[in-house]
Homo-oligomer: A and B are copies of this chain.
Amino acid sequence: MKIVEIKEKAVPINSDIQNAYIDFTKMDVSAVAVVTDVIKNGKPVIGYGFNSNGRYAPSGIIHKRMIPRIMDANSEDYITEDSSNLDPFKLWNIMMTGEKPGGHGERAVAIGTIDMAIWDAVAKIEEKPLYQLLSERYGDGIPDNKVFVYAAGGYYQPGKNDTKLQEELKGYLNMGYSVVKMKIGNSLKEDFRRIESALQVVPSGENLAVDANGRLDLKTAIEYAKALEPYNLFWYEEAGDPLDFDLQAELAKYYKNPMATGENLFSVQDARNLIRYGGMRPDIDYLQFDCALSYGLVEYLRILDMLREHGWSSRRCIPHGGHQMSLNIAAGLKLGGNESYPGIFQPFGGFADDIEVVDGYVRLPDVPGIGFEKKAKLMKVLGSLTD
């Protein structure tokens, strides 16, 4: 068996929102199709993948480095020993051929995107949902039957007043979410007025998370921490620059409640530095590494190994990104949950069309692969890759 072709296309994300750094009207993502010569139900098995929002489509790297390396390889060098399936680890090594260590940025996104498509194909070839395959290969064989998800929203938007923020958050609760997240970091005074408004519509502080998107300096981060602590929030996310581990460690001295970070660390080496130096607390804090931005599930398995060695449970991981790939990993490898962006970053964000959020949890569809085929609008985009 072999990979017949790999297609990639940059697709705009149409979202009229912004966080501290990004105007999402200008953001795009790479959509990838890995076409195999394995035939199921009369059609070739195709795996699909895409990168998460917040980082631009790494189309140039995919076309100039990654696709040629895979297509130039001998298929014997990337399939399993029994020739029955693709081997994502061998393909990962092929993609990293000719790459120096360090500098984990767009390359990590490019590989994460293709890795997602590879795992989708692998599970389809085994005719199993990916969460089932992962649980059998790397876990106890019994995946979680539902996954905690929280609704990430509360973005700054032009003309969005506190009433609109409240309506948005109420909408998430009505959809079945138990925890909602909002952005902070513009100004302490404005943000605390917004947080007070939000707390009027959620049951308690434990149902509200706040996210500074890494924009605060230590002094301001501590000011926020002191003001946030009495609310007993679900978490206080990414206060400072993602690589300023000293800031994170220092901040923990001023904030006894849960904190979360990691979405902007794109390798096992960077993740390990957070664990080594960031003062993160394995009993209460959360880690948000996102496989779609950081060399894929192959690297995420290394991150989980690293966490285990450092005394962290996989349950402390709630990945960034709001995609079905991390949902499968969460169920199969027993993470703590997954992000969700109801209604935004479409059609990439969100889960299967017929799955409801119930008491803050979602179930997973029983279909082979990651489950993209159960999300009609997404499949329209992904399917068009091979038209």
- With contacts A241-B269, A273-B245, A273-B273 taken as known, whether A54 is within 8 angstroms of B100 at the C-beta atoms is yes
Check B243–A106 contact: CB distance below 8 A. Answer: no
Which residues of B lie under 8 Å from residue A153 when comparing CB positions?
none
Q: Is A349 an interface residue (CB 8 A)?
A: no
CB distance from A126 to the nearest CB of B (A): 33
What is the size, in residues, of chain A's interface with B at 8 Å between Cβ atoms?
A: 48
Q: Point out the residues of chain B lying under 8 angstroms from A270, CB to CB.
A: 102, 243
Q: Which of A18-26, A186-194, A226-234 contacts B (4 or more CB under 8 A)?
A: A18-26
- Report chain B residues within 8 Å CB of A60: 58-61, 63-64
- A17 to B17 alpha-carbon distance, docked (Å): 48
A191 to B311, CA, bound (A): 38
Question: A60-B59, A243-B270 given as contacts; is B106 within 8 A of A264 (CB)?
Answer: no
The CA-CA distance from A107 to B215 in the complex, in Å, is 19
Q: Which residues of B contact A243 (CB under 8 A)?
A: 101-102, 104, 267, 269-270, 272-273
Q: Are A241 and B102 in contact (CB under 8 A)?
A: yes
Interface residues of A in 50-72 (CB under 8 A from B): 54-61, 63-65
- The CA-CA distance from A59 to B26 in the complex, in Å, is 19
B101 touching A242 by the CB < 8 A rule? yes
- The answer for the CA separation of A56 and B99 in the assembled complex, in Å, is 9
Out of B59, B65, B105, B215, name the residue touching A104 (CB < 8 Å). Answer: B105
Interface centre among A54, A65, A101, A266, by most chain B C-beta atoms within 10 angstroms, is A101
Q: Is A113 part of the binding interface, using a Cβ–Cβ cutoff of 8 Å? A: no
Nearest-CB residue, chain B, relative to A238? B101
Which listed residue (B22, B59, B98, B100) contacts A100, Cβ 8 A?
Answer: B22
Given A98-B26, A277-B277: A103 touches B55 (CB 8 Å cut-off): yes
* Chain B residues whose CB sits within 8 angstroms of the CB of A22 once the complex forms: 98-100
> Which residues of chain A (297-325) have a CB below 8 Å from chain B?
none
Residues of B with C-beta under 8 A to A266:
102-103, 105
- A21 near B102: Cβ-Cβ < 8 Å: no
Tell me the complex Cα distance, A358–B90, Å: 49
240-297 of chain A: CB within 8 A of chain B = 241-246, 264-267, 269-270, 272-273, 276-277, 293
Q: A243-B273, A269-B244 known; A264 and B54 CB under 8 Å?
A: no
Top 3 A-B residue pairs of the complex, sorted by shortest distance between their CB atoms:
A60-B60, A105-B105, A102-B264
Known: A102-B243, A243-B272. 18 other contacts (CB 8 A): A21-B100, A26-B98, A27-B98, A54-B100, A56-B65, A57-B64, A58-B60, A60-B60, A60-B63, A100-B264, A101-B214, A101-B243, A103-B104, A105-B266, A241-B269, A243-B267, A243-B269, A244-B269
Which residues does A use to contact B, with CB under 8 Å? 21-23, 26-27, 54-61, 63-65, 98-109, 213-215, 241-246, 264-267, 269-270, 272-273, 276-277, 293
